[in-house]
Amino acid sequence: MKKKNITKKAEVKAEEKLVLSRPASLRDVEMHYCAGCGHSIVHRLVCEVIDEFKIRERVIGIAPVGCAVIAYEYWDFDVSEAAHGRTPAVATAIKRVRPDNIVFTYQGDGDLAAIGTAEIIHAANRGENITVIFVNNGVYGMTGGQMAPTTLAGQKTSTSLAGRSLRNDGYPLKILEMLAVLPGTRYLERVSVHSAQEIFRAKRAISKAFKTQIENKGFSMVEVLAMCPTYWGMAPVQAADRIKNDVSLFYPIGVVKAY
């Protein structure tokens, strides 16, 4: 009360509390992602986890072919590209050659669930000690919003104009549930980034997945349900609601397999 003038620096510092800052693993550059896209959130979560484990100098990421193809422009650590879908094969070799490094792939649903189905199943089945971040937004974003293996029944895309037909296009693929039956997989969880609460859960899952690898427990994968407002033809808020009300009903959020 008697000290009105509280401009002493030390006092101000004591009152300030840093609650959020850019992760050191995330470069301070503008991202190319569309408004409301889930990728930028997932990039950040991965970087926060890497910072928290203090593994930035040990980590080697494998960027996919898809919207996240230039992820290495945003991540401030060693990164390799991979041919479309071959991401887990590249990761397998890097981890085998350098078992002390932390190796993760970052893949979309076209990369992982269509052209790279063989690679993800066999990397998982060999129990490779790698971490897979699988961003599922149900469309091919980079090429203009075509139907993905994960596109929901009835969903309209540029290659399923009348909506995905189960008869013509088959059923949406639940990769996590497929991998769960493989003895080689240790930790599998599906999360979403459609709300602040889900983003917190997503980060916990990504952290658990990296921890699985750090502790040499084997194959870990987090599927992240992400918004693609551009190719869902929706405003970002609507797109987030769609995950809550629609997408997550078919792809249930939660742990699929844990040790």
Partner 1 sequence: MSRKILMCGNEACGEGAILAGCKFYAGYPITPQNELIAYMGKRMSEINGVFIQAESELAAINMVFGAAAAGERAMTSSSSPGVSLKQEGISYIAGAELPCVIVNMQRGGPGLGNIAPAQSDYFQSVKGGGHGDYKVIVFAPSSAQELLDYTFMAFDIADKYRNPVLILGDGLLGQMMEPVTIIKENYKPEIIEKPWALTGCKGRKPNIVRSFFLGEGALEEHNKRLQEKYKTIASSEVRAQTFNLKDSEIIVVAYGSVARTAKAAMEQARAKGIKAGLIRPISLWPFPSKIIKDASAKAKKFLVIEMSSGQMVEDVMLAVNGKSEVDFYGRMGGGIPTEEEVLARIEALA
- Residue 119 touching partner 1 (CB under 8 A): yes
Shortest distance (Å) from residue 195 CB to partner 1: 32
Determine which residue in the list 33, 75, 232, 251 makes contact with partner 1, applying CB under 8 A. 75
Dist CA 129 CA 221 (whole Å): 11
- Residue 20 touching partner 1 (CB under 8 A): no
Nearest to 185 by CA among 132, 129, 130, 127: 127
- Residue 182 touching partner 1 (CB under 8 A): no
Residue pair 82/65 in contact (Cβ under 8 Å)? The answer is yes
Dist CA 127 CA 18 (whole Å): 40
- Residue 111 touching partner 1 (CB under 8 A): no
DSSP 65: S
- Residue 93 touching partner 1 (CB under 8 A): yes
β-sheet bridge partners, residue 59:
102
- What letters, b where the CB count within 10 A reaches 16 and e where it falls short, cover 250-259? ebebeebbee
Token duo for residue 115: 């052209």
Stretch that binds partner 1, among 79-87, 176-184, 185-193, 205-213 (CB under 8 A): 79-87
Determine which residue in the list 79, 142, 180, 182 makes contact with partner 1, applying CB under 8 A. 79
A 10 A CB-CB count for 138 gives 29
Determine which residue in the list 76, 169, 177, 241 makes contact with partner 1, applying CB under 8 A. 76
- Residue 51 touching partner 1 (CB under 8 A): no
Stretch that binds partner 1, among 16-24, 42-50, 82-90, 137-145 (CB under 8 A): 82-90
Dist CA 223 CA 179 (whole Å): 12
Stretch that binds partner 1, among 58-66, 136-144, 210-218, 251-259 (CB under 8 A): 58-66
- Residue 40 touching partner 1 (CB under 8 A): no
Cβ within 8 Å of residue 61, ≥6 positions away: 46, 71, 72, 75, 77, 78, 79, 80, 103, 104, 105, 106
- Residue 49 touching partner 1 (CB under 8 A): no
In the bound state with partner 1, the residue whose beta carbon lies nearer, of 129 and 248, is 129
Q: How many binding residues for partner 1 (CB under 8 A)?
A: 33
From first CA to last CA, the distance across the chain in angstroms is 56
- Residue 143 touching partner 1 (CB under 8 A): no
Determine which residue in the list 51, 81, 177, 241 makes contact with partner 1, applying CB under 8 A. 81
Residue pair 105/87 in contact (Cβ under 8 Å)? The answer is yes
Stretch that binds partner 1, among 77-85, 154-162, 181-189, 229-237 (CB under 8 A): 77-85
- Residue 90 touching partner 1 (CB under 8 A): yes
Enumerate binding residues for partner 1 (CB under 8 A). Answer: 56-60, 62, 69-70, 72, 75-83, 86, 89-94, 96-98, 101, 118-119, 121-122
